Amino acid sequence: MRSKSYGEKASLGLKLGAIGTLLFLHVPLLIIFLYSFTTDETTYSFPLPGLTTKWFGVALHRTDLWEALKLSLQVASLATIAALILGTLAAAAVYRSNFFGRDAISFLLVLPIALPGIVTGIALRSAIGTLEIPFSFWTIIIGHATFCVVVVYNNVLARFRRMQSSQIEASMDLGANSFQTFRYIVLPNIATALLAGGMLAFALSFDEVIVTTFTAGQQSTLPIWIFSQLVRPRDRPVTNVVATIVILITFLPIFFAQKISAESSDTEGESK
Amino acid sequence: MNRLSTYFYKRPFMVTMLLLSVPMLYMLVVYLGSLFALLLNSFYYLEEFTGLVVKQFTLGTYAQLLKPSNLGIFGRTAGMAMAVTITDAVIAFPLAYYIAKFASRRLRTYLYIAVTLPLWSSYLVRVYAWKLILSKEGILSWFVNLFHLNPLLDGLLSLPGIGGSSLSLSPIGMFIAFCYIWLPYMIVPIQTALERVPKSLLEASSDLGAKPSQTFRNVILPLAFPGVVAGSIFTFSLTLGDFIVPQSLGNSRFFIGQAVYSHQGTSGNIPLAAAFTMGPVIIMVIYLLAARRLGAFDAL
C-alpha cells in the first residue's frame, strides 16, 4: 500500500514556522528605524510620544561621530586590501595542488572566525603587549586582516573550482605565458568573486567590535562608539539615528555581494 | 618575461609554495604567534602589590580559575551557550527546511540573502535593537500590557537565577538577544545539509510506506544532523566568547567574555584573562574535532 507521497507542497505549519523565523530576523531592525524619529530623549518609551527628524541633523553635526566613521572606513579599506591579497594567494595555492597540508590551511584560515572573537582579541593584545608595540591604527588593521582573509579565500576558492581549467590550457596552448594567462583569463574569471569577497570582508571589518576593543589604543571606531552607548546610554536619540544609518549604508553592498556569491554557488551546485 | 614564465611553469610546486608563503607567514606569525603569546601569558602571574605582570612560570593563575566564583562564570556561560544552541536549532529548522526543499530558485536566492544579510552587518545595532525592545518602557512591555500578560512576565522575571528587574537586565533578555543574533549561523548550514538530501530518497521512503512524520524522523533529521552540528559550532563558540550582549543586557553576574575583558582592562591582569580564554579555546578545539568526525565541515 502506498502512503501519501512525501513533501510535494509545504505544509501550513512549516510555512508559518518559516515566516515566523523570517519576521524574528528582521522586525527588530524596523523598530530601530521607528525609534530614530522619536521625540523621547531620555527613555525608550513605546508608543513613541511624538515624531521628529531633528536627530538626523544633530547627528550630522557631531564631530566625534565623523571621526569614528572616518577611522572605521580607513581601517576597513586597508584590512580589505590585505585580505584580498592574502586570501587570493592562499586560494590559488590550495586550488593548484593537492598537497598534504591543504586541510590544515583551510583550518588555520577559518580558526579566527571559528574561535570566539575574544580569543583572537586577547591573543593579539598579549602578543602586542609582549613585544611592546604601541597600540595604534595599524594594530587594529592587523587584527582585522586575520579574520577577513577567510572570507576572500572562500569566495575565490569556490570560483576557482568552478572555473574550467581547459580555458587556462587553451590560453597556454595559444602561446600566452603565465602572466598573460593570469591577466586575461584568470583575473576576469575571479573578478566578481573578488568583489563579493572584498565587500563582505569590508562589512565584517566595518562592523567588528570585539577584536577592536583589544587592539585599539585610544581610537574609537564607529562600533566602539555604539558599544559605549549600549553600556552607558548618554545620547539615545543620536544612537538611534546612527544605528539606522549603519543599517542603510551596509545593506546595499552586502545585498549585492551575497547575490553574487549565492548565484555562483548555485551554478556550482548544478555542475556537480 | 617569457623565460620567467617558463621557469615557473616547469616548477609548479615552487609556485604553489611561493603563493602560499605570504598568507601562511602572516597567519603563522601574527595569528598562531599571538595564540602562543596568549598561552605563554597564561603561565605568568600578576604581582598583587605592584600590579605588574611577573614573567615567571607558574600554574597559580590557572589555580585561580578553580575558585567557586570563576567556576560559576564558566558554568553560566556554557549553560547559556547550550541553551542558545538548542533553541536556535529548533527555530532555524523550519525556515532552513523550507528554503532547501520548497522554495523556487528565485525565492531561494532572496530568502538566502534575507538570512545571511544580518551575518555580515550591524551586529551591535542588532544588539541595540533588543535593548530598545526589551526595556521596561519599551515595545514588548507594551504588548504584554495590551494582552494582560503582566502576571506571566512578572512570574518569569521573579525566577531565581534567570530573572531580573526587567527583561533588558536579566539573563532571559540576554538569552533572547543571543538566540536572535546567532540564528543565521544555524540556518545556513542546516539549509546546506538539507539541500544535499536527494528528493528520490524522500520518495523512496514514502514509497516504502513511511508516513511523512516517519520520513522526517528517520530520513531527514539524521541527514540534517551534520548541518545542525556545523551551525552549533558558531552558536556555541560565539556565545562563549561574547561580552557585548552580557555587558549591554545582562545583570552584574559575569560571563567569560566579560571576565576576560575586565581582567585585562581595569586591572591589567593579562595572565588571568589569558587563562580564562583557554577555557573556550579548549572547549572549541574539542568541539571542532568532534564536529569534523560527524562530517559537519562538509555542511559549512
pLDDT, tens digit (0-9, with 9 covering 90-100), for B129-142: 998 898 888 888 88
Q: Which residue of B has its CA nearest to A254?
A: B117
Query: Which of A39-43, A119-123, B159-163: highest mean pLDDT?
Result: A119-123
Contacts of A85 in chain B (CB under 8 A): 22
Residue A269 has pLDDT above 70, yes or no: no
Nearest to A119 among B114, B241, B248 (CB): B241
Tell me, yes or no, if B146 comes closer than 8 A to chain A by beta carbon.
no
- Read off the pLDDT of each residue in B23-27 and give the average, rounded to a whole number: 89
Residue B89 has pLDDT above 60, yes or no: yes
Per-residue pLDDT band for A1 (boundaries 50, 70, 90) equals: very low
Q: Kindly give the pairing relationship between strand B52-54 and strand B45-47.
A: antiparallel
Residue A155 has pLDDT above 70, yes or no: yes
- Read off the pLDDT of each residue in A67-72 and give the average, rounded to a whole number: 92
Q: Give chain B's mean pLDDT.
A: 86
At B296 the pLDDT is 66
**Distance from CA of residue B238 to its chain's centroid?**
3
Separation in Å, CA of A6 to nearest CA in chain B? 6
Residue B7 has pLDDT above 90, yes or no: no
| pTM for the model | 0.86
Nearest to A126 among B4, B38, B187 (CB): B38
Residue-wise pLDDT tens digits, B107-117? 888 898 888 88
Share of chain B above pLDDT 90, in %: 18
Residue-wise pLDDT tens digits, B171-217? 899 999 999 999 999 999 999 889 888 888 888 888 898 888 888 88
**Distance from CA of residue B249 to its chain's centroid?**
17
Total Cβ atoms within 10 A of residue B200:
9
Higher pLDDT, B79 or B4: B79
Nearest to A126 among B113, B241, B274 (CB): B274
- Read off the pLDDT of each residue in B99-108 and give the average, rounded to a whole number: 87
Per-residue pLDDT band for A146 (boundaries 50, 70, 90) equals: very high
User: Would you tell me which residues 51-80 of chain A have a C-beta closer than 8 angstroms to some C-beta of chain B?
Assistant: none
Question: Which of B1, B20, B235 should one mutate to test binding to chain A, selecting the residue with the greatest count of A CBs within 10 A?
Answer: B20
Residue B298 has pLDDT above 70, yes or no: no
At B299 the pLDDT is 54
At A172 the pLDDT is 84
Domain ranges of chain B: 69-299
At A217 the pLDDT is 80
At A39 the pLDDT is 83
Higher pLDDT, B36 or B287: B36
Residue-wise pLDDT tens digits, A219-254? 889 999 998 888 888 888 888 898 888 888 888 888
Total Cβ atoms within 10 A of residue A134:
8
Query: Which of A84-93, A214-223, B147-156, B266-275: highest mean pLDDT?
Result: A84-93
Tell me, yes or no, if A173 comes closer than 8 A to chain B by beta carbon.
no
Q: Give chain A's mean pLDDT.
A: 84
- Read off the pLDDT of each residue in B220-243 and give the average, rounded to a whole number: 89
Question: Can you give the three-state secondary structure of B131-192, one letter per residue?
Answer: HHHHCCCCHHHHHHHHCCCHHHHHHHHCCCCCCCCCHHHCHHHHHHHHHHHHHHHHHHHHHH
A97, HSE (Cβ side, Cα atoms, 13 Å): 17
Q: Is the dihedral of CA B17, B18, B23, B24 positive or negative?
A: positive
Higher pLDDT, A81 or B61: A81
CA distance B28 to B35: 10
Per-residue pLDDT band for A270 (boundaries 50, 70, 90) equals: very low
**Which residue ranges form the domains of chain A, and what is each CATH number?**
64-271 (1.10.3720.10)
Side chain identity, residue A103: D
CA distance B47 to A183: 58
- Read off the pLDDT of each residue in A56-63 and give the average, rounded to a whole number: 86
At A264 the pLDDT is 67
Nearest to B273 among A7, A43, A122 (CB): A122
Per-residue pLDDT band for A144 (boundaries 50, 70, 90) equals: very high
* ipTM confidence: 0.82
Q: Which residue of B has its CA nearest to A24?
A: B180
Q: Helical H runs in chain B?
A: 2-9, 12-26, 33-42, 60-65, 68-101, 105-120, 123-134, 139-146, 150-157, 171-195, 199-207, 212-215, 221-241, 244-249, 256-265, 270-293
User: A168 and A185 in contact (C-beta within 8 Å)?
Assistant: yes
Residue B218 has pLDDT above 70, yes or no: yes
Higher pLDDT, B293 or A170: A170
- The correct CATH number of B69-299 out of 1.10.760.10, 2.40.50.140, 3.40.50.300, 1.10.3720.10 is 1.10.3720.10
At A271 the pLDDT is 33
Per-residue pLDDT band for A2 (boundaries 50, 70, 90) equals: very low
Separation in Å, CA of B258 to nearest CA in chain A? 10
Number of A/B CB contacts below 8 angstroms equals 307
Contacts of A266 in chain B (CB under 8 A): 105, 109
End-to-end CA distance of chain A: give it in Å, rounded: 35
At A3 the pLDDT is 42
Separation in Å, CA of A133 to nearest CA in chain B? 13
**Cβ separation of B97 and A114 shorter than 8 Å?**
no
